[in-house]
Structure 1
Amino acid sequence: MTLIPVAYLSSYLLSMLGNSIAGIALPLIVLGVTGSAMGAGWVAAATAVPAVVAGLVMGVVIDRINRRTSSIVTDAVSAASVAALPLVDLVSGLSLGWFILFGIIGSLGDVPGLTARDALLAAVVRHGGITAERLLGMRESLGAIALLLGPAAAGTLMVLLDGSTVLWLTAATSMAAALLTLLIPHEVGTITPSEEAEATTGASSGWAQLRAGWRALFRSPFLVSTTVLSLVAVVALAGYQGLVLPVHVTLVGRPGLLGFVLSALAGGMLVGGAIYVVVGSRGRRRTWFLATMLGTTVGFAALAALPSGGLLLAGAFVLGLSSGLFGALLGVLMVERIPEQMRGRIMGTQNAMLTAAAPVGIVAAAALTEYVSLDVAAAVLAGAWLVGLGVGVFARALRNLEPASERGTDEETAVVSGA
């Protein structure tokens, strides 16, 4: 493997690890400073909307400037916003307002940063001497490793270090991710749109280019189908992970089981990504896709039954395994089917929607649990996934997932390009 994919994957791992640690440590620090559980809720609510808006509009910027530069800048913004908190704590002490202010600033780098890395994938494949299947499989596995290590690292650091000091280390991971991205040659991130693209979008305003990206997304049956599928999966998984499972293990008197369930989920994702690295390029993609649909259905069904012990762990592992395979396969398809000049806008819109989908799943599960019952909440989330299963199995746009050379014509690219 050459330097380019190594730098890309290392940067991705550090960025994800920093986010994973901050996701655990920051709410605890807010709680310690404010003494109010609602404080953490206000911080989360205040940062969610800017993150979604930034994801929607920053895609235009990512499509206009070097993707490597975009990734570096967004990581630096995230690092600076996190590092500012312990600095303020040293100077004057923290309050809820400081958490909200720097949370909003940091959110402006989160979704755009994810989008910039996604948009850079195709160039890493071209210049890095690596197949898309191998790159995406490794990326899924590294993301799972970050999910496994992050909570444990956060818990350990919170014990060893005082208060906001932990955030120096999370800021350091984001800055290290930015520095590693510097190892990728500048020309890898250069955007060279086709003459047709320059004629149609090059001189347009930012708003016009943003609308062009939205039209390309919503007029493509393939992109609409995969986006709906991803949204349903995120809503269901967030509902289980963020509310149903914590409430369930508390009610059965085994709160410590939640950590093992989440570890089983991340472990499954790690194995799924590793499998795709080794054998993802073999066999028909439609077969791989249907296998992930079946595995995800089995996993959600197991969680919906609200078992305890081994069955719950097995269901989480199967769900994670299928998610790892699905994420890698979907990433390969995005690399192939989204035109270079529109990657920022299309992927930015998708990432913004997925960011908003997670709290929707948690709020829906909370409302159902509060006003109906936990069993109903679990069943409704599983039922929501059945909508995604129907899209995956029956959507015409998802019947042929092979490369363009095997499909004969690349109709999806023509649709996305606006032809």
Structure 2
Amino acid sequence: MPGNRRPFTAVLAANVVSITGNALTGMGVPWFVLQSTGSAAEAGFVALCTMLPVVLSAVAGGPVIDLIGRRRVGIASDLVCGAAVAAVPLLEFAGVLRFWMLCGLMAVTGLCHAPGETARGVLLPTLAGSAGMPLAKAAAWYDGAARCAGMIGSAVGGVLIALLGAQNVLLLDAATFAVSASLLAFGLRGLAEAQPRKRSVPALPRTYRRELGEGYRYVLATPLLLGICLMTLVTKGLDQGWSAVLLPVHVREDLGGSADLGLLNALFSASALTGALVYGAVAGRLRRWPVFTVAFLVGGMPRFLVAALTGTVAPLAVTMAIEGLAFGVLNPIMATVMYETVPEELRSRVLSVTTASVLMVTPLGGLAAGFFADSAGVPGTMLVAGGVYLLATLSPVVFPAWRQMDAPGPAAAGRQGLVPREPGPEPG
């Protein structure tokens, strides 16, 4: 019998709206910088300013999310990000925008992005249970919604930039954050797991440090989670360099401009959406480890190689469509493994830790890509990045801990005393 699908549907809709806006920002801001300065290095520096606060907030955000409540954090995150994005074009129209202001505003969006994303993500098992849906299928739908949003944003982003200008596109993005906040406020109302956690001890600094440390200890004691963090740490940095610098510069210099950028990103997102939905339909019949391993090998290195060796849209479009299909299965697999491995009471803390670990190198990805693109050229930078990507994606083949993806569970960490009991009074 179907359950209550309202919370799950509301979160999916909020994700579609806000991630569509993020896709517009992801295209609009680099394009705005390249139009204003012509410097790949400055575009990379803006990417650094955007992503570094994401890491910092993810490092420390887990206990804060539990304290404030997942619903409130999600709403506040959207509202603050929307205000910061709107300030960029408004300051530009007023003629007072400076490069340091742009960097600061993008840093604000980064600071609030990770807690909001984590607050929604940790609710997925609860939302799936409320909707009467298997977790693997819910994870595929959750990722599929994000892919759909990326597809929509990418499909219209390049055209909107060409028609309206990057500044007006950023105003449109700001409006999407307000819509997303409204959906969360309505959809998560009354959901117990989305409210602030009841505490038997006061929220003292040492309590916060203890709770923060529990998340890190759990990841370090679980080889599979640690392996996922280390591999995706490298690949996320390379992906950031690709999306924030290398692909926009390649499209601007060698292809047809912002419309081609939108086409390529839309093809990738559409294929990734297809991959996620197909995996959700057949997830119960497939072993996770071999599917994950092959998908990451197919989805990683080839786009760097093809872009470096060709100067036309068609080969890169075909490559990115194939890679999108492969990448569509990755997030549902990792999400399912994460939720099956980590106890509910630790999810905010552990997911914050894994987000921080995965993104640790990401802020440097755009900066390094911009520096090497300016100094060594875009094709050479792409070839080196693709080689590093290939080496990183071979780790599931080499290390046996990855085979635990087919039978994850909290036992390993639990045996080491890392699954918390009901907290009692703090000593001293």
- TM-score scaled by structure 2? 0.81
**2:165 is aligned with 1:127:** no
Aligned to 1:410: 411
1:116 equivalent among 105, 119, 133: 119
Sort the Cα spacing of 1:403 and 1:177 in 2 relative to 1 into closer, same or farther, 3 A.
Answer: farther
Structure 1 vs Structure 2: percent identity of aligned residues?
26
Q: Structure 1 residue 85: deviation in Å?
A: 4.9
> Separation in 2 of the partners of 1:6 and 1:379?
42
Deviations 1:113-161 (A, max 9, x none): 1111222222212322222222221222222222222244344545665
> Separation in 2 of the partners of 1:150 and 1:171?
13
> Separation in 1 of the partners of 2:379 and 2:165?
40
Aligned to 2:284: 281
Contact 2:89 2:168 in 1 (8 A): yes
**2:269 is aligned with 1:266:** yes
Aligned to 2:192: 187
Deviations 1:27-50 (A, max 9, x none): 555678xx5456766654444433
**2:331 is aligned with 1:346:** no
Deviations 1:32-78 (A, max 9, x none): 8xx54567666544444333212211222013332222212211222
Q: Structure 1 residue 275: deviation in Å?
A: 0.9
2:241 equivalent among 236, 239, 242: 239
Contact 1:272 1:321 in 2 (8 A): yes
Contact 1:63 1:342 in 2 (8 A): no
Where do 5+ consecutive residues of structure 1 fail to align? none
1:223 equivalent among 219, 222, 225: 225
**2:106 is aligned with 1:103:** yes
Partner SS state of residue 130, structure 1: coil
Deviations 1:248-272 (A, max 9, x none): 5567566575544333322221111
**2:68 is aligned with 1:65:** yes
Give the letter for the 1:379 counterpart.
L
Aligned to 1:169: 172
Name which of structure 1's ranges 114-123 and 35-44 shifts more when overlaid on structure 2: 35-44
Sort the Cα spacing of 1:373 and 1:261 in 2 relative to 1 into closer, same or farther, 3 A.
Answer: same
Name which of structure 1's ranges 324-333 and 249-258 shifts more when overlaid on structure 2: 249-258
1:4 equivalent among 2, 7, 15: 7
Aligned to 2:335: 331
Contact 1:293 1:392 in 2 (8 A): no
Name which of structure 1's ranges 201-210 and 175-184 shifts more when overlaid on structure 2: 201-210
> Separation in 1 of the partners of 2:413 and 2:91?
50
Q: Please provide the CA RMSD for this pair.
A: 3.5
Name which of structure 1's ranges 124-133 and 239-248 shifts more when overlaid on structure 2: 239-248
User: What is the 5 A alignment of 1:377-392?
Assistant: 377-392=381-396
Partner SS state of residue 347, structure 1: helix
Q: Structure 1 residue 99: deviation in Å?
A: 3.5
> Separation in 1 of the partners of 2:240 and 2:9?
31
Give the letter for the 1:170 counterpart.
D
> Separation in 1 of the partners of 2:315 and 2:171?
39
Give the letter for the 1:19 counterpart.
N
Partner SS state of residue 405, structure 2: coil
> Separation in 2 of the partners of 1:18 and 1:388?
30
Name which of structure 1's ranges 154-163 and 127-136 shifts more when overlaid on structure 2: 154-163
Aligned to 1:320: 324
**2:141 is aligned with 1:142:** no
Q: Structure 1 residue 311: deviation in Å?
A: 3.6
Name which of structure 1's ranges 294-303 and 274-283 shifts more when overlaid on structure 2: 294-303
> Separation in 2 of the partners of 1:371 and 1:82?
31
Contact 1:298 1:319 in 2 (8 A): no
Sort the Cα spacing of 1:403 and 1:124 in 2 relative to 1 into closer, same or farther, 3 A.
Answer: farther
Deviations 1:306-340 (A, max 9, x none): 34554433322222111110111111111111222
Contact 2:304 2:382 in 1 (8 A): no
Sort the Cα spacing of 1:155 and 1:129 in 2 relative to 1 into closer, same or farther, 3 A.
Answer: same
Name which of structure 1's ranges 116-125 and 281-290 shifts more when overlaid on structure 2: 281-290
> Separation in 2 of the partners of 1:237 and 1:30?
19
Contact 2:17 2:176 in 1 (8 A): yes
2:53 equivalent among 47, 50, 53: 50
Contact 1:219 1:416 in 2 (8 A): no
Name which of structure 1's ranges 79-88 and 225-234 shifts more when overlaid on structure 2: 79-88
Aligned to 1:293: 296
> Separation in 2 of the partners of 1:316 and 1:117?
28
> Separation in 1 of the partners of 2:87 and 2:53?
19
Q: Structure 1 residue 342: deviation in Å?
A: 2.5
Aligned length: 409
Where do 5+ consecutive residues of structure 2 fail to align? 421-428
> Separation in 1 of the partners of 2:43 and 2:390?
33
**2:361 is aligned with 1:357:** yes
Name which of structure 1's ranges 324-333 and 66-75 shifts more when overlaid on structure 2: 66-75
**2:26 is aligned with 1:23:** yes
> Separation in 1 of the partners of 2:227 and 2:216?
15
Name which of structure 1's ranges 3-12 and 379-388 shifts more when overlaid on structure 2: 379-388
Sort the Cα spacing of 1:36 and 1:248 in 2 relative to 1 into closer, same or farther, 3 A.
Answer: closer
Contact 1:75 1:113 in 2 (8 A): yes
Q: Structure 1 residue 14: deviation in Å?
A: 0.9
Give the letter for the 1:411 counterpart.
A
Q: Structure 1 residue 294: deviation in Å?
A: 4.1
> Separation in 2 of the partners of 1:99 and 1:203?
33
> Separation in 2 of the partners of 1:88 and 1:243?
24
Give the letter for the 2:295 counterpart.
T
- TM-score scaled by structure 1? 0.82
Sort the Cα spacing of 1:390 and 1:198 in 2 relative to 1 into closer, same or farther, 3 A.
Answer: farther
Sort the Cα spacing of 1:276 and 1:77 in 2 relative to 1 into closer, same or farther, 3 A.
Answer: same
